[in-house]
Copies of this chain bind each other. A is one copy, B any other.
Amino acid sequence: MSYSSFIPPQRTLMGPGPSDVSARVLSALARPTIGHLDPQFITMMDEVKGLLQYAFQTQNEYTIALSAPGSAGMEACFVNLVSAEDKVVVCRNGVFGARMIENVQRIGAELVVVDGEWGRAVDPQQLEDALKQHSDATVVAFVHAETSTGAKSDAKTLCQIAQQYDCLTIVDAVTSLGGIELKVDEWGIDAIYSGSQKCLSCVPGISPISFSDKAIDKLKARNVPVQSWFLDQSLVMGYWSGDGKRAYHHTAPVNSLYALHESLVMLHQEGLENSWRRHQRMHDLLATGLEALDLHFIVPAAERLPQLNAVTIPEQFDDAKIRSYLLNEFNLEIGAGLGQFAGKAWRIGLMGYAARKENVALCLTALQEAMQNT
């Protein structure tokens, strides 16, 4: 067997993530590796913390980049803040709410599921009804931006309700961070996780997370150790926090953190609100074009994520053929449907660096040609 270097094609990434990564971020990624305890690396880590606090709009001291993808970020929130004694209300309106349920089950906590329609926001009234019925619930978890459907939930209202019932909140912001309004402190979110490869337009593999002081207190008061050693934030804390000396826990993904740093510097330079506005503007352009192609959104306008556009595949088209055509003819990736929507929807991402006019134009032109020629 003989092997040679892998030279990937140059794609335009308009699926559900990874999104387009800019040359600036790729170039940061390739800078020389230094040690994970090098004083200069620790200085950079502190900047990553500050930049993530800005992106999350939080003063939470414990705001870090987890050394694994968003799914591990989700698990980190659950295994650190939930134990078998807890009763957890999970709102499920797509694949990622369902994944939260799996996390709760593997911890052995009591579970209450608030089931909503796929393609719609979580219904605050349903959450309130569940909490009235289960007044002993201790945690509420929901997905801010459901990547599987393109629906945006009203995180602010959901958190308000959770707080009225004295519950800690765990929020999935994998697809929302940097793309739509998200205010961790103002909304009272206790634990939040995201992914590097969505609206931050960094390479995949890192999960920004942030815990409120209330969450940290709960973690510190645990009677039973966190069931994951790798994700135990009471240990990871010794590496990401503290003045000067940092304790070794695991070897941080040094180069990926260079890239995350750069993508966050870019977000800071653009300004968070400007980034939110840009995602909305590009969505408006794309939406107009998609409707003109007779492609219709699954999610009602008021509940749509600008960065993840799920449209119903018209019956006359073959899902896989169209996506292959886009990939082979235009080097353009759009996303397939997931879960209930497999084969029934396309998911068109406009995330981070991919939310540009040239991408919108390419996508509309390519889709039109693909639908004519397949």
Interface residues of A (CB under 8 A from B): 1, 3-11, 13, 15, 17-18, 20-21, 26-36, 38-41, 44, 47, 50-51, 67-72, 74-75, 79, 99, 102-103, 105-107, 195, 197, 203-205, 225-231, 248-256, 258-259, 261-262, 264-265, 268-269, 327, 333, 338
Contact = CB atoms under 8 A, between A and B. Distances in A.
A4 to B, nearest CB: 7
A41 B6 CA distance: 9
Contact of A28 (B6, B39, B249, B261): B6
A272 to B, nearest CB: 13
Given A29-B255, A255-B203, A227 B333 contact: no
A31 B7 contact: yes
Contacts of A250: 69-72
A254 B33 contact: no
Interface centre among A51, A75, A231 (most CB of B within 10 A): A231
A259 to B, nearest CB: 8
A204 B50 contact: no
Contacts of A72: 68, 72, 230, 250
A306 to B, nearest CB: 20
Contacts of A105: 225
A215 to B, nearest CB: 19
A330 B177 CA distance: 41
Contacts of A227: 106-107, 227-228
A34 B26 CA distance: 12
Contacts of A258: 6, 8
Copies in the complex: 2
Interface centre among A5, A230, A262 (most CB of B within 10 A): A230
Interface centre among A35, A248, A261, A264 (most CB of B within 10 A): A35
Given A68-B67, A75-B229, A262 B5 contact: yes
A102 B229 contact: yes
A365 to B, nearest CB: 20
Nearest to A24: B5
A203 B254 contact: yes
12 contacts: A3-B264, A6-B262, A18-B34, A21-B33, A26-B32, A27-B30, A38-B333, A67-B205, A68-B69, A70-B250, A70-B251, A203-B254
A253 B204 contact: yes
Contacts of A107: 227
Contacts of A256: 203, 205, 253, 255-256
B38 A11 contact: yes
Interface centre among A41, A99, A256 (most CB of B within 10 A): A256
Interface centre among A27, A197, A226, A250 (most CB of B within 10 A): A250
Contact of A229 (B103, B197, B268): B103
Nearest to A67: B69
Given A18-B36, A75-B230, 8 more contacts: A8-B258, A11-B33, A18-B251, A18-B254, A33-B204, A102-B229, A105-B225, A204-B254
Contacts of A21: 32-33, 255
B8 A225 contact: no
A38 B11 CA distance: 10
